[in-house]
Structure 1
């Protein structure tokens, strides 16, 4: 007889398969064989959810109040697509290096409509970071601002300057018509839509390949769950402000989500706390995707009291766990604002679990329940056994938003994805009896600085290249504002008197600002296992004992 399976309706756990299932209603997705780009899918949802495209602002520049209505945005996309079509073939990668502006969403959507692959990088990336990313993604074209081109490696690829008259003319192409939007490229859902950069356990940045299907699955879940929340006709028009960068998976999918739902998005070229508060007041922002340090700042800063932030209804908090004390302090100050926490990785298109509604938001410390169409396992890292609720192990995820793989790195792809489609997250977690996920620790040795991933191995390699240093290790050190900061333990060579300030200054010039070493201690020797692996836990305990 075939074994029957039963899923616990309280937590989604199936004891026969040892798999957790989403408790959310399943969301219908288009058949995988149907050609459909995320651009076409988002456009179909937009037309069904918003009739006032000519008057509804989609993009608003916080500093200048310049804006694009949905109609103007789509005209720009159509025009740019007509201009770029002769320069690009389907599946060509477009590398993008720019701070946020009204042009970037137009560029993203134009490239997606053509079936090209969007690959944005942080403007703060160092030249060596950019060289590595470009070697992974192998772009056919590069878009950059005039002041960032000097960081790019010398390669034989056309570069279009985003703040040049040429690019501005591409947005006003006379040969483009609105009808060309309908004739967007025929794109397989399994085709790559984006390559976003994320650090792995090896300390080298990886290019995460996300497909159109990945993005469709994520947006579909948010769209269908949003329908139930919009029953109150008097609710204000949703306005979000993107405090997270557009090159980061969080900002990337929040932008696409907003477009699909017909919402307005306020963009800031550079994050500034006071300017953010001004924008919330000025544009009546209702929703902000944030990282925990921003929640801390809002809960603690007296500056907030000088602004009218009464329009805020919810914060979507991700990137790192949010502490119970911070949550409670925030709720005391802003009782009308919900904090909705979530968990995801670049490798899961930014989504995996989230809280929904006020009752789930009260689960302090939890990253929420499994998202729609998502499955999970908690696997013992030593035995490989799949574990039941309340037991701790590595979180594995499977679902339609899980990445295709890593660009140009088959070995890393094989290490992260098994033959059945399970993604090993490297995070130590457990589900409670009600199906809420709790992140305990990271099996990966990454430091989360303000939601940026900082690989210790990369910093250790740089430290060990300094002649006066005999050995070094880097560990996370708790910090209320940043979550964690990189702390270095350094063994000086005999006779050397190099100072902590000199070392930190040297490293600071080699890396992006978020990777800087912000604390350093000298030590006689780095504790290691018999196999030579750094015993980071010992160093972390040492650091905490001095706290």
Structure 2
């Protein structure tokens, strides 16, 4: 039974916080796949741009995207032997073919597992083994990292680079050869349920070993609605999103690429972040939305040459993947007047989204929160020791539930049971809701620094400081504390 909402914060008498947003219908067809969700746009707007290469301007319309995905799916099935339930490892920088391959894999009922191109060969091998990958889709520059996997390889670029020793050339197929002569009509639709696994994304591992997060078609379908409902509520038309965030990360794939494509928005694809290249792409492609991680926001805030570019198309710049300080948001607002500067919060385990700021025109901004819960997501704040529900302005662990929540960790029952309890995902993050229903994420529960058994608060005196040349961070901008700890341990040997 739904509790009565007693506060503007959306806090009910049952101790549950609910989204203040209008309820948005999430597609309920049990046989709908995430591929179907995206490709249905081909019928509505076949000639509209879907994916655009930021550097060259070459684009795939929604009609061409549908054809490319179905041809790739047919080729992967008939020529590479990919079957329902098989895992396919995607190891490549952002490119137009990346989401084509992702959607082709999911169209077959197979499982896409994405890996960071910066991983070491050992890390790649570990993920490939854990995910039980049967095929690798990659680029020629990364061949040396996977030569020891002994798996069939599909090469996206095919620039004639020599195959490294230890990697049999018979194992390597150029993507262009794979799809050559294959017709869209050869694709045979595979019955897929929303509850079937679509992808294995690996958590960032900030608190330990990286774990495979099992995400279903329903998770992606729900998340796609959640991240675009504000655009619909505001009556926005066609939008253009710039994506330099890595597509192997849940932010880049779920929130930007799949979420925006299913709405009919265009996604401009960049292989990597460069401030001038980003600003030039905004001008050239009339970008309206730019989603970033904090390091990119900081770089943009400090950039002094923005005035050289026509950025009049830009409506919104959003930050996610790691906390962003008020000072940076204020600096960004000064640097980009008239552009909404917002912040959101999500996890791999929530298919990338939990909360998002919603800027109401004429209302004073209070930078610092990650916004209100997105439609369809509920939350509670609990005392980490007693599990008691906490009202607004009280700090505790953030727990969430909704149709975007993962099935669990792949082949790891213990980790799943310690994270999902009675239908609630325990995020491991500390935070609180304020009286306006805005969620503030303060710290990691599992990463609190302790001294002689006591938690260190900010006013505690430091005993020792070590200066380092740089702070190790993940591709999403999160500080890799485990690497800092390892550095300290090595310094003591």
Structure 1 length as normaliser, TM-score?
Answer: 0.78
- Structure 2 residue corresponding to 1:219, chosen from 214, 224, 240: 224
The whole-number CA distance in structure 1 between the counterparts of 2:308 and 2:301 is 14
Matching residue of 2:304: 302
Identify unmatched segments of 5+ residues in structure 1.
Answer: 464-471, 474-489, 494-547
Task: Say if 1:95 and 1:141, in contact at 8 Å, map to a contact too.
Answer: yes
Matching residue of 2:275: 273
Q: How has the CA–CA distance of structure 1 residues 153 and 176 changed in structure 2, closer, same or farther, with 3 Å as cutoff?
A: same
Q: Max radius of gyration: which structure? A: 1
**1:75 aligned onto 2:100:** no
Q: Which runs of 4+ in 1 moved over 4 A?
A: 446-450
Matching residue of 2:482: 457
Matching residue of 2:316: 314
1:87-106 equivalences under 5 Å are 87-106=81-100
Q: CA deviation at 1:71?
A: 1.7
Matching residue of 2:176: 168
**Number of residue pairs matched by the alignment:** 452
The whole-number CA distance in structure 2 between the counterparts of 1:122 and 1:363 is 35
Matching residue of 1:423: 425
Q: CA deviation at 1:428?
A: 0.7
The whole-number CA distance in structure 1 between the counterparts of 2:263 and 2:243 is 15
Higher relative contact order structure (alpha carbons within 8 Å, sequence separation ≥ 6) = 2
Task: Say if 2:294 and 2:477, in contact at 8 Å, map to a contact too.
Answer: no
Q: How has the CA–CA distance of structure 1 residues 417 and 145 changed in structure 2, closer, same or farther, with 3 Å as cutoff?
A: same
Matching residue of 1:194: 199
Greater CA drift, 441-450 or 335-344? 441-450
RMSD: 2.3
- Structure 2 residue corresponding to 1:150, chosen from 144, 154, 171: 144
Deviations along 1:63-101, one digit per CA (max 9) or x if unpaired, are 222222222222111211111113111121100111111
Q: How has the CA–CA distance of structure 1 residues 347 and 147 changed in structure 2, closer, same or farther, with 3 Å as cutoff?
A: same
Q: CA deviation at 1:452?
A: 3.7
Matching residue of 2:451: none
The whole-number CA distance in structure 2 between the counterparts of 1:325 and 1:460 is 28
SS in 1 for 2:321: coil
**1:437 aligned onto 2:456:** no
The whole-number CA distance in structure 2 between the counterparts of 1:175 and 1:491 is 59
Q: How has the CA–CA distance of structure 1 residues 373 and 275 changed in structure 2, closer, same or farther, with 3 Å as cutoff?
A: same
Task: Say if 1:389 and 1:431, in contact at 8 Å, map to a contact too.
Answer: yes
The whole-number CA distance in structure 2 between the counterparts of 1:264 and 1:62 is 12
Q: CA deviation at 1:167?
A: 1.0
Task: Say if 1:93 and 1:139, in contact at 8 Å, map to a contact too.
Answer: yes
Q: How has the CA–CA distance of structure 1 residues 362 and 125 changed in structure 2, closer, same or farther, with 3 Å as cutoff?
A: same
Q: CA deviation at 1:106?
A: 1.0
Greater CA drift, 110-119 or 201-210? 201-210
Q: CA deviation at 1:128?
A: 1.9
Deviations along 1:149-187, one digit per CA (max 9) or x if unpaired, are 22126344322222237311334434333x95xx53211
Task: Say if 1:249 and 1:350, in contact at 8 Å, map to a contact too.
Answer: yes
The whole-number CA distance in structure 1 between the counterparts of 2:384 and 2:220 is 30
- Structure 1 residue corresponding to 2:387, chosen from 380, 384, 391: 384
Q: CA deviation at 1:4?
A: 8.4
Matching residue of 1:508: none
Task: Say if 2:52 and 2:266, in contact at 8 Å, map to a contact too.
Answer: yes
SS in 2 for 1:414: helix
Q: How has the CA–CA distance of structure 1 residues 176 and 451 changed in structure 2, closer, same or farther, with 3 Å as cutoff?
A: closer
